[in-house]
Amino acid sequence: MRQDEAETIAIRALGWIAAEEGLFEVFLDATGCDAGEVRARAADPDFQGAVLDFLLLSDQHVTGFCDAAGLAYDVPLRARAALPGGGAPDWT
């Protein structure tokens, strides 16, 4: 997946998180951001990675987002891998 595609997925995921009852507040608590900072950083690929990290913490969130967006369930993980800091760890 190209980075620009991953960025689009992350922005869509942020919109889904914001629309889910109570989930946006959990996201704000988890990131330490307020709504203004989220708006200001939404286009930042590093922040988009954090959005996908949050989404990927819960299978329920992944399936909910993917079902709503019409995406395969592996898309958020592939998108995360295409954004800064999303590569697989090197354990050697």
Question: Is pLDDT of 54 > 90?
Answer: yes
CA separation for the pair 39, 57 (Å, rounded):
22
pLDDT digits (tens, 9 = 90+) for 57-78: 999 999 999 999 999 999 999 9
pTM (predicted TM-score): 0.88
pLDDT for 84 equals: 82
Average pLDDT, the chain: 91
pLDDT band, very low/low/confident/very high, at 87 (cuts 50, 70, 90): low
Helix, strand, coil tally for the chain in percent (to 5): 70, 0, 30
* CA neighbor of 52 nearest in space, from 25, 29, 81: 81
